[in-house]
Structure 1
Amino acid sequence: MKVISSRDLNQDVSRAKRAARLEPVFITDRGKPTHVLMSIEAFRQLTGHGETIVELLAMPATTEIDLEAARAGGAWDRSAG
């Protein structure tokens, strides 16, 4: 468990973000923990939330779709109707 003061966080945010990739970082204000910085993966695991629909739609396609084959005689063929 990493602990840093809010002053140290303000001076070096990049260092805190790097540390949060490995483990949650507790941020203190006047010696008392006030916030926790963690990676999005750790947050999702903690809350049980998966990826949002926006993130899923932004992912590159893993399979190619043959649109020409789908159009020929399929539901997209406007001449068959």
Structure 2
Amino acid sequence: MSITTLSSREFNQDTSGAKKASIKGPVIITDRGLPAHVLLSIEEYRRLTARPRRIAEALAMPAGPEIEFEAPRVSLGLRAADFD
């Protein structure tokens, strides 16, 4: 992903070029040398504003064969706490 920086004047003179650049990455538009706006492709905008997934959704495997997994027992060598 490449980031393009344009002044407001450059953006106004070549809007088509800015739109083409936004396909490759964000286009930062400056006002008086300071970043003021960002132009993104609609795909990137949708990706950034998409609903965050819950951890269960992120870890869920797509439909496919069932996988059997049995975690091995772990012995940490701990002893029971005495509360007397």
> Normalized against structure 1, the TM-score is what?
0.59
Distance in 1 of aligned mates of 2:13 and 2:25: 20
Partner of 1:19: 21
Report % sequence identity. Answer: 55
Structure with the higher fraction of residues in helix conformation: 1
Partner of 2:75: none
Partner of 1:37: 39
Structure 1 segments, 4+ long, off by >6 Å, are none
Partner of 1:48: 50
Unaligned runs of 5+ in 2: 52-84
Larger Rg over CA atoms: 2
Distance in 1 of aligned mates of 2:5 and 2:24: 13
RMSD over aligned Cα atoms: 0.9
Q: CA deviation at 1:24?
A: 0.4
Unaligned runs of 5+ in 1: 50-81
Matched length? 49
Distance in 2 of aligned mates of 1:5 and 1:23: 16
> Normalized against structure 2, the TM-score is what?
0.57
